[in-house]
Amino acid sequence: MNILVLGSGGREHAIVWKLSQSKKITGIFAAPGNAGTSAFGTNLPLDPEDFEAVKKAVLDHKIKMVVVGPEAPLVAGIHDFFLSDSDLKGIPVIGPDKSAARLEGSKDFAKSFLVRHNIPTASYRSFSKSNSDQALTFLKSLRPPYVIKADGLAAGKGVIILDDLEAAFQEVKSMLDGKFGSAGQKVVIEQFLKGVELSVFIITDGHSYKLLPEAKDYKRIGAGDTGLNTGGMGAVSPVPFADKHFMDKVISRIIDPTMKGLSEDEITYKGFIFFGLINVDGDPYVIEYNARLGDPESEAIIPRIKSDLFDLIEGVAEGNLETKEIETDNRFVTSVMIASGGYPGSYEKGKVISGLDNTDECVIFHAGTKLSGEGVITSGGRVLAVSSWGETMQEALDGSYRNARRISFEKMYFRPDIGFDLKKK
């Protein structure tokens, strides 16, 4: 079967890498892909949000299944587009339809879903222009810091946390005034939760689900969780505090009620659900849902899946996921992200990357790379994710860092302390 993976990051390279190990797949296409995905198949230079272009590629290349990496095409309704097109409707799209993708596409929808189904989350209220005057009263009822979120997708920049009440109210007003365009037509203000974050993933066919390995992501650019937020600078899986006791709470308080809630709300969710959780004194709370896998979490969790990922995906498409088995590798996988100097601010592209052939006992997932006449060059802020296995977290980290140091390009940067907070003191 020919399969198409939409997206161009490290997550998509990890999906392509894993699917390429399946005997049931004959051809892999990535759109637009990167230099890493091109080693496993064919990159198609198209925008995943241009559904007509996706349709043409699917028909031209006799693609029989589509796996959607990022959230934007899901929230824009790519699944619905396939279902409503007579040429495409028999081709499964792995990823939720537009209604189900609201779990990520609208924070107001996600919060009301959480509250309606009694799933632990920070208390909140939503505001629009018509009731913005009440936002100040609500802010005053909370203790700082204040968490302010644009309702819609805002390229990962829509969450602002501020200590000052007046600044928080100004932020609400500027979001409602269009700071993030239509994503800010509604604004969610919520209680600040203090704890350690955890990324939990399931794959579901709408009836049953399989739990995938969990991970911890390091979002800040600087060592010790300092500096600006990024897309994620590294990940560790498994996460030591997510032991059986904690994960039992995650399943009984969060995952099962989410599945039941979707069913009660008559939402059929097919694809991955990413539960962004926070551990508050041993109790899990939902910070957010995402309608996809995480990046860089995928670069740590996918190498821990021993089963055929295509078999699981086929279970989603055919609605028989319940009959499938998932086996995971007990070893640690750590992933260290190599970024362009200056990221997440401005940075240069087009730097020639050397040392990629000089690595061992790791897998290098490409993110912002492309092929040029000079070889592999940088084309984004996050460039490469170096994933290594180990019996211990430290052994995996040693592998990731040893190999990261063998790679070079002008002004490259990586965080030196991935996993620092999970190590036994």
Residue 190 binding target from ligand AMP, ligand GLY, none, CB below 5 to 8 Å by type: ligand AMP
Contact 390, 396 (CB under 8 A): yes
Q: Is 193 in the site for ligand AMP (CB under 6 A)?
A: yes
Q: Does 96 bind ligand GLY (CB under 6 A)?
A: no
CA pair distance 164, 178, nearest whole angstrom: 21
CB 125 within 8 A of CB 102: no
Q: State the binding partner of 204 from ligand GLY, ligand AMP, none, CB within 5 to 8 A by kind.
A: none
* Residue 122, binding choice from ligand AMP, ligand GLY, none, Cβ under 5 to 8 Å by partner class: ligand AMP
Among 192, 322, 350, 410, binds ligand AMP (CB under 6 A): 192
Residue 276 near ligand AMP by CB under 6 A = yes
How far is it, in rounded angstroms, from Cα 384 to Cα 395?
A: 20
Q: Which of 190, 214, 299, 308 binds ligand AMP (CB under 6 A)?
A: 190
How far is residue 42 CA from its own chain's centroid? 23
97: contact with ligand GLY by CB under 6 A: no
Other CB atoms closer than 10 Å to residue 143's CB: what's the count?
Answer: 7
**Residue 151 in the binding site for ligand AMP (CB under 6 A):** no
What does DSSP say about strands 234-237 and 216-217: parallel, antiparallel, or unpaired?
antiparallel
Report in angstroms how near the CB of residue 165 gets to ligand AMP at its nearest. Answer: 17
Closest Cα to residue 68, out of 4, 14, 145, 160?
4
Nearest alpha carbon to residue 400 among 237, 231, 241, 222: 237
Q: Which residue is nearest to ligand GLY (CB)?
A: 294
Backbone angles phi, psi at 325, to 5 degrees: -110, 145
What's the min distance (Å) between Cβ of 276 and ligand GLY? 7
Tell me the CB-side half-sphere exposure of residue 267, using CA atoms within 13 A: 20
Q: Tell me which of 147, 291, 383, 407 binds ligand AMP, using CB under 6 A.
A: 147
CB of 336 to ligand GLY, least distance (A): 14
Query: How large is the angle between the packed helices 165-176 and 133-141, nearest 10 degrees?
Result: 140
* Exposure string for 364-381, b = 16+ CB within 10 A, e = fewer: bbbbbbbeeeeebbbbbb
Interface with ligand GLY, residue 295, by CB under 6 A: yes
The beta-strand segments (E) located in 332-418 are 332-340, 363-366, 369-372, 375-378, 382-390, 412-414
CB of 194 to ligand AMP, least distance (A): 7
Smallest Cα–Cα separation from 288: which of 136, 159, 411, 176?
Answer: 159
User: Parallel, antiparallel, or unpaired for β 196-204 and 271-280?
Assistant: antiparallel
Token pair recorded at residue 345: 């601010």
Judged by DSSP in three states, 297 sits in helix
Per-residue contact flags (x/-) with ligand AMP for residues 349 to 368, judged by CB under 6 A: --------------------
Tokens of 134: 């009440």
Comparison of 12 and 217: residue with beta carbon closer to ligand GLY: 217
Cα 229 from chain centroid (whole Å) = 15
Q: Does 160 bind ligand AMP (CB under 6 A)?
A: no
Q: Which of 12, 297, 308, 314 binds ligand GLY (CB under 6 A)?
A: 297
Selected range binding ligand GLY among 173-181, 294-302, 369-377, 415-423, rule: CB under 6 A: 294-302
Contact letters for ligand GLY, residues 204-243 (x by CB under 6 A): -------------x--------------x-----------
Per CB under 6 A, 290 contacts ligand GLY: yes
Residue 12 C-beta: closest distance to ligand AMP, Å: 20
- State the binding partner of 288 from ligand AMP, ligand GLY, none, CB within 5 to 8 A by kind: ligand AMP
Residues that bind ligand GLY (CB under 6 A): 217, 232, 290, 294-295, 297
Residues that bind ligand AMP (CB under 6 A): 122, 147, 159, 190, 192-193, 197, 276, 287-288
